[in-house]
Structure 1
Amino acid sequence: MRPLPYLLVVLLLLTSLVADSQNLTDLKDREIVFRGVNVIPMDQERVLTNQNVVVRNGKIAAITPAAQTTYKQDALVVEARGKYLIPGLAEMHAHVPPVDDMDPIKEVLTLFITNGVTTIRGMLGHPRHLDVRERLKKGELLGPHLYSTGPSFNGYSVKIPSQGAEMVRAQKQAGYDYLKLHPGLTRQNFESVAKTAKEVGIPFVGHVSHEVGVWRAIDAGYSSIDHLDGFIEGMVPGIESMNEQQIGLFGMYIADKADRSQMPKLMQALKDKKVWVVPTQALAERWLSPIAPEELNNAPEMVYMNAQTRNNWVKTKQDLQANPSYNKAKINDYLKLRRDLIKACQQNGVGLLLGSDGPQVFNVPGFSVHHELQYLVDSGLTPYQALQTGTVNVAQYLGRSDMGTIAVGKEADLVLLEGNPLQDIGQTRRIEGVLLDSRWLPKDFIQNELKKLAK
């Protein structure tokens, strides 16, 4: 079983963060106007040039050519000529520290929101997160809208089928949004969890255990499979006779044995069963890749991670690269196969959701979302398709008709950018400001918050 090393990495990283953030003045009683802005509505691939976007009471009230707009005299006017407005981004594989201490939780929330991430799905739940979710809804905390899984289902937390069923019912009653599945579940224990989840009406998401396999996972009705977990294994003949040490994390050591002729069958199964996919390619490209850990450790955003976290990340990657099974050429081929799987999902109508697994090895919360967008484009998606994974696709997945696009009546979760991300996906990093409901975070506020978080 592999859950213990993976879970230890996650827990160690999430509990070593410290925070400091502040609330903004709520502007619900005032209109907010983006004047002269170029709007990327995300209803189709287009740009509405030189528009005035009026926000009132947390909703988009008007989108009209700049010369035709009227607004109240006391409105907060954001001069946005030449800039671009997109819907707020979603991180669908985020991690909120699973602790009672609010300081590290506030820090992670701040890193997300200052990077234009206005919705997150927390993927390692804790009772404290239920309170955080409600405080975020009320505006008592500054941070993204939160959907939360419960504590992990894995080979150590679920020993027998009845225990899994009991955990499902308890998490449903507690009010979690999803169940998080980690590795190590036996087939019988998984079947008990999946059956009970369907009975009580709570979706399950995350990893695919080795004994379960991707084909059973798809048939069981995962809401989303994250990390492309089990995909490569599911295309390898004789996988049942291999142990998890031979396979490696997410099939990294057996990609050369994958039968690519199985890829269409895999895509069709995912589509037929309406299983969404959260690739977290940033995790593979940064943790599992042959890139030297020292190079990643010197990235600008690492200043927001404390020394203990960064040292843990360096050692984790060094230990991986020192494994006798680790072969740089084969790992590069493995990364290429993952990119091909992502492109196949897009081409075959399998729903993709933006997620980068931050914080995780060399994935700083918020910043890693922009890396993920670039990795999606590197996999063959257009910038528009990449943006869809974090906007309209998320709205569809969540069943939320009030988010994901810029249109009158929609929620005013918006990100103002310096340049056009449809031409260069890297422009999503050049943030001029973030609007969360009725709270405007201008660039100077964002820079000041990030400065306070620098270690």
Structure 2
Amino acid sequence: MYTGRRLHRCRPAHQPEKKEQYNNMKKLLFTTFALLGALLSSARQQPADLIISSVKVIDVKTGSITPDQSIIVRHDTIIGVVSNRHAKKFTARQTYNGSGKYAMPGLWDMHMHFGGGDTLAAENERFLSLYLAHGITTIRDCAADISYLVLRWRDEINNGALQGPTIFTSGPKLEGYKSVWLGDLEIGTTTELHQALDSLKKLQVDFVKITDNTIKPELYLEAVKAARKRGFAISGHVPYSLTLQQVSEAGLSAVEHLSYVWKAGVKDEAALSRSIAAGAIKGRDINRYILEHFDTAAALKAYRFMAQHGTAVTPTLSLGHILAYFDQDNHQNDPYLKYIGKGLQRTYEMRIKRVLQDDSAAIAWRKLIYEKSSSILPLLQKAGVRIMAGTDAGYLNSFTYPGIGLHRELALMVKYGLTPLQALQASVINSPAYLHKTNYGAIAPGKKADILLLNANPLEDITNTQRINAVVVKGKLINQEGIEEMLK
């Protein structure tokens, strides 16, 4: 019977103690599950050596930029390019905050020279640090007189025993008898040609270079064909007695220097080449003839033929610009000279003495020739010719500096008609393509971990390639402190 009183269940006196045990058990279970979750998550994470986070990745092929990306590196290879959120799937020994930075592939200088003999070996070796400090992670040595050293440096860098940019080298170049160049393989017969190519094969050179100082034109064509048959890429100066069509058909992979390609823009290059071979036109008259007979339609036709046959060009605008405008800047007070050894500076003297002999008329002439020949750059681009970025820096070539020289070359390419994107493509896409290296040219999985981090967008202003934040070479990060240490 209801009495109006509320009934209460009796509680044991020890209830609070049980509640505390229950709460402790809950805490233990929560901690255990959290640790298990962390362990499982850690087990699912992929190992890496370096993660660069929060960068804006430049696609140098298209010009598109993807923000908030993390670049995942293992050993010397990029294994992932993911959003920052997905970067949690990876764990790395080293991380680098790239917030606000632009990431692109490391730069290539496709035409430089080591040289000057054994006594300048140490001065040449310093180039390696200069290149890396300026974001140049690959260089192509276009023949020198210290090839045995260059080949050793190349192999030591590849093996990790020496820090420096990847080197591709021609070893000693092919030339005729009594060439002006030191360290050449001089040939005058078919037998000597094949002996020279056998020698280059034993040296395991990366490509073959042939120049035009004294080599016989018919042997030049034979050398191109023979080297191509052996599987070599071939670069060269082109004898003016040959046409661009002849050397392209023979299999020349790349023409070094724009002047040889400018000649192909005349209305009848074959007639000009015959006149040069006969000695009817020579010296300064050759450039005068080109000036008077250059034809845009003929040039485009010749350059399209060149593109169809896969013949590239390395314009090397830098040295020509320095020499053409030497009256306005003699470079004697360049701050960068502090990085160049005195012995190498002495190798500059030959070219300096030559330009100092010019009177006002000769100075005006060399400027005119430089401007006219450089103006063909957009025509080559329009015709589909692969243009590569190279400086002619190093030994002998006055004030064309290893390192900063490539940034100046890119700026000249833009000045004379390329877009910043096309100039970057000339360095980081077209250059490895020449050597059939497919694991370069992009910030993407499977590509070499040669990376340049910039403080500003180079597509807006090509000089922003000089605003370097950090460099990654073969997966190894060089931060600002490391760059400064290299420059010391």
Band of TM-score, shorter chain: 0.7 to 0.9
1:428 aligns with 2:447: no
1:125-151 Cα deviation digits (max 9, x unpaired): 523333222211111111111111021
Alpha-carbon distance between aligned partners in 2 of 1:364 and 1:244, rounded to the nearest angstrom: 38
1:169-224 Cα deviation digits (max 9, x unpaired): 22123311211112221123213322321332223212112333433222211111
1:49 aligns with 2:79: no
The two structures have a TM-score, normalised by structure 2, of: 0.79
The two structures have a TM-score, normalised by structure 1, of: 0.85
User: In the alignment, which residue of structure 1 is the partner of 2:318?
Assistant: 282
Alpha-carbon distance between aligned partners in 2 of 1:305 and 1:329, rounded to the nearest angstrom: 30
Aligned partner of 2:162: which letter? L
Number of paired residues? Answer: 421
User: In the alignment, which residue of structure 2 is the partner of 1:375?
Assistant: 412
What SS does the aligned partner of 2:232 have?
A: coil
Shift of 1:244: 11
User: In the alignment, which residue of structure 2 is the partner of 1:399?
Assistant: 436
- Aligned pair in 2 of structure 1 residues 409, 239: CA closer, same or farther (>3 Å)? closer
Shift of 1:379: 1.4
Aligned partner of 2:160: which letter? G
1:190 aligns with 2:220: yes
Aligned partner of 1:69: which letter? A
Alpha-carbon distance between aligned partners in 1 of 2:360 and 2:148, rounded to the nearest angstrom: 39
Aligned partner of 1:379: which letter? Y
> Contact between 1:433 and 1:442, CA under 8 Å: does it hold in 2?
yes
- Aligned pair in 2 of structure 1 residues 286, 119: CA closer, same or farther (>3 Å)? same
User: In the alignment, which residue of structure 2 is the partner of 1:143?
Assistant: 164
1:332 aligns with 2:367: yes
> Contact between 1:247 and 1:254, CA under 8 Å: does it hold in 2?
no
Alpha-carbon distance between aligned partners in 2 of 1:226 and 1:376, rounded to the nearest angstrom: 15
User: In the alignment, which residue of structure 2 is the partner of 1:70?
Assistant: 88
What SS does the aligned partner of 1:193 have?
A: helix
Q: RMSD in angstroms over aligned alpha carbons?
A: 2.6
Shift of 1:347: 1.2
User: In the alignment, which residue of structure 2 is the partner of 1:7?
Assistant: none
Aligned partner of 2:319: which letter? L
Unmatched runs of 5 consecutive residues or more in structure 1: 1-28
1:55-97 Cα deviation digits (max 9, x unpaired): 1222222222224421666532222111111101111112123
Alpha-carbon distance between aligned partners in 2 of 1:338 and 1:68, rounded to the nearest angstrom: 50
Shift of 1:437: 1.4
Of residues 298, 301, 310, the one that matches 1:265 is 301
User: In the alignment, which residue of structure 1 is the partner of 2:476?
Assistant: 439
Alpha-carbon distance between aligned partners in 2 of 1:98 and 1:308, rounded to the nearest angstrom: 8
Aligned partner of 1:169: which letter? D
Shift of 1:307: 3.6
User: In the alignment, which residue of structure 1 is the partner of 2:20?
Assistant: none
Alpha-carbon distance between aligned partners in 2 of 1:244 and 1:435, rounded to the nearest angstrom: 54
User: In the alignment, which residue of structure 2 is the partner of 1:231?
Assistant: 261
1:179 aligns with 2:208: yes
- Aligned pair in 2 of structure 1 residues 296, 257: CA closer, same or farther (>3 Å)? farther
- Aligned pair in 2 of structure 1 residues 172, 211: CA closer, same or farther (>3 Å)? farther
- Aligned pair in 2 of structure 1 residues 258, 418: CA closer, same or farther (>3 Å)? farther
User: In the alignment, which residue of structure 2 is the partner of 1:5?
Assistant: none
User: In the alignment, which residue of structure 1 is the partner of 2:138?
Assistant: 119
User: In the alignment, which residue of structure 1 is the partner of 2:196?
Assistant: 167
> Contact between 1:276 and 1:350, CA under 8 Å: does it hold in 2?
yes
- Aligned pair in 2 of structure 1 residues 253, 77: CA closer, same or farther (>3 Å)? farther
Deviates more, 1:351-360 or 1:167-176: 167-176
Aligned partner of 2:219: which letter? N
Deviates more, 1:92-101 or 1:59-68: 92-101
User: In the alignment, which residue of structure 2 is the partner of 1:88?
Assistant: 106
Deviates more, 1:308-317 or 1:425-434: 308-317
- Aligned pair in 2 of structure 1 residues 147, 326: CA closer, same or farther (>3 Å)? farther
Deviates more, 1:411-420 or 1:121-130: 121-130
Alpha-carbon distance between aligned partners in 2 of 1:177 and 1:245, rounded to the nearest angstrom: 36
1:247 aligns with 2:283: yes
- Aligned pair in 2 of structure 1 residues 173, 313: CA closer, same or farther (>3 Å)? closer
- Aligned-residue sequence identity (percent) comes to 25
> Contact between 1:57 and 1:438, CA under 8 Å: does it hold in 2?
yes
Alpha-carbon distance between aligned partners in 1 of 2:264 and 2:61, rounded to the nearest angstrom: 35
User: In the alignment, which residue of structure 2 is the partner of 1:413?
Assistant: 450
> Contact between 1:395 and 1:404, CA under 8 Å: does it hold in 2?
yes
Of residues 351, 355, 367, the one that matches 1:316 is 351
Shift of 1:348: 1.3
Shift of 1:312: 4.5
Deviates more, 1:368-377 or 1:232-241: 232-241
User: In the alignment, which residue of structure 2 is the partner of 1:352?
Assistant: 387
1:202 aligns with 2:232: yes
